[in-house]
């Protein structure tokens, strides 16, 4: 059976995404990874914030919760701590996770709780009319920066690494096979697992930033990204021209929910002694 038949809520269609939007490719990759890991639908919870990307949870035939803007991770943390048996997956956008939800993001990484988080990074607030986000590159023309934005942008991978996530990876919707592998790995491992995925929003970002067509945006990913092992062989000057993709950290560390349970058992034993 195709993953779309198995895991898509047909009643929620048609979807809201624009032609050429990368969100559908990303959703399909996530579903294939869930299928590969054989996660039980009844034991899997998809939590999302607000944004075009966060609408993905509504199309998925699992336990789903579409929360408040920037708040997917606190909801997911509560769900996982209350019921560690569940597989908890967070879907979030660059604005959702690094602007209004930025504080929750760094603390979820620091806690290293067993949640797989997939960030759909289109470098813009897609849903609300194209305001620049913390990941919009310097110079981005947007609804709130008509002459180009002046701030240095966040590198989500660097943030996650510095904050303590145990698995950190980056892919793009152009590299679909690689993407399946990254998400599947993230679902398999304990701890806080972060996959940032570069995905085009031609409607709000591409048109204003000299990408004539949607295809030009996909070609940008081809020309400007490089696999991590090759990136490491480049000179610093060459590295400046590319965005590396691949697995940046892969450590097997127990999630917060495991350490929490261990502490609870220890205290219980002390009380019973
Ligand atoms: C508390 C709150 N503030 C602002 C908004 C408006 N809002 C909805 S989505 C969004 C930005 C979404 O951007 P992103 O997370 O990058 O998702 P995208 O639409 O690009 O996928 C904003 C500002 C809101 N819904 N709630
Ligand atoms: S506005 Fe952008 S992110 Fe939203 S559906 Fe359209 S292309 Fe996708
Ligand atoms: Mg966005």
**pLDDT tens per residue, range 242-258:** 999 999 999 999 999 99
Percentage of the chain surpassing pLDDT 70? Answer: 100
Q: Are 98 and 134 in contact (CB under 8 A)?
A: yes
Tell me how far the alpha carbon of residue 79 lies from the centroid of ligand 3, in angstroms: 25
**Mean pLDDT, rounded, for 130-158:** 98
**Distance from C-alpha of 153 to C-alpha of 19, rounded to nearest angstrom:** 27
What confidence score (pLDDT) does residue 1 get? Answer: 80
Q: Are 72 and 95 in contact (CB under 8 A)?
A: no
What confidence score (pLDDT) does residue 213 get? Answer: 97
Structure tokens at 90: 């967070």
| Position 147 confidence tier, pLDDT thresholds 50, 70, 90 | very high
Q: Are 46 and 89 in contact (CB under 8 A)?
A: yes
What letter would DSSP give residue 182? Answer: H
Q: E strands along 77-163, which residues?
A: 87-93, 116-121
What confidence score (pLDDT) does residue 126 get? Answer: 98
**Distance from C-alpha of 31 to C-alpha of 87, rounded to nearest angstrom:** 14
Write out residues with Cβ below 6 Å of ligand 1: 50-53, 69, 93-96, 120, 122, 124-128, 133
> Which atom of ligand 2 lies closest to the CA of 18?
6
Averaged pLDDT score across all residues of the chain? 97
Confidence check: pLDDT of 5 > 90: no
User: pLDDT, tens digit, for every residue of 215-225?
Assistant: 999 999 999 99
Write out residues with Cβ below 6 Å of ligand 2: 17-18, 21, 23, 52, 122, 126-127, 201-204
| Position 40 confidence tier, pLDDT thresholds 50, 70, 90 | very high
User: pLDDT, tens digit, for every residue of 62-81?
Assistant: 999 999 999 999 999 999 99
What confidence score (pLDDT) does residue 264 get? Answer: 96
Which of the two residues, 5 and 186, has the higher pLDDT score? 186
- Tokens 């195709």, residue located: 2
What confidence score (pLDDT) does residue 138 get? Answer: 97
Confidence check: pLDDT of 33 > 90: yes
Tell me how far the alpha carbon of residue 266 lies from the centroid of ligand 1, in angstroms: 42
Q: Which residues pair with 56 in a beta bridge?
A: none
> Which atom of ligand 2 lies closest to the CA of 130?
1
What confidence score (pLDDT) does residue 184 get? Answer: 98
Q: Are 97 and 117 in contact (CB under 8 A)?
A: yes
What confidence score (pLDDT) does residue 56 get? Answer: 98
């Amino acid at each position: 059976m195709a993953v779309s038949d198995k895991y898509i809520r047909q009643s929620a269609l048609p979807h809201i995404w624009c032609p050429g939007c990368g969100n559908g490719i990303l959703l399909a990759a996530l579903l294939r990874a869930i299928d590969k890991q054989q996660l039980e639908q009844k034991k899997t919870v998809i939590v999302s914030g607000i944004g075009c990307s966060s609408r993905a949870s509504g199309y998925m035939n699992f336990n789903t919760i579409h929360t408040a803007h920037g708040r997917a991770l606190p909801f997911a943390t509560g769900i996982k701590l209350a019921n560690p048996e569940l597989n908890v997956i967070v879907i979030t956008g660059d604005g959702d996770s690094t602007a209004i939800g930025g504080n929750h993001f760094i603390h979820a990484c620091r806690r290293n709780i067993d949640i797989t988080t997939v960030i759909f990074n289109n470098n813009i607030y897609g849903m609300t009319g194209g305001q620049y986000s913390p990941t919009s590159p310097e110079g981005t023309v947007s609804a709130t920066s008509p002459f180009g934005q002046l701030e240095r942008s966040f590198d989500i991978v660097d943030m996650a690494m510095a904050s303590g996530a145990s698995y950190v990876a980056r892919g793009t919707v152009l590299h679909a096979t690689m993407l399946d592998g990254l998400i599947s790995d993230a679902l398999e491992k304990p701890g806080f697992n972060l996959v940032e995925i570069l995905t085009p929003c031609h409607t709000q970002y591409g048109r204003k930033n000299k990408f004539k067509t949607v295809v030009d945006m996909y070609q940008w990913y081809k020309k400007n990204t490089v696999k991590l092992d090759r990136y490491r062989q480049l000179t610093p000057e060459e590295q400046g021209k590319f965005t590396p993709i691949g697995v940046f950290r892969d450590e097997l560390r127990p999630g917060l929910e495991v350490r929490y349970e261990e502490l609870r058992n220890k205290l219980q034993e002390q009380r019973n002694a």
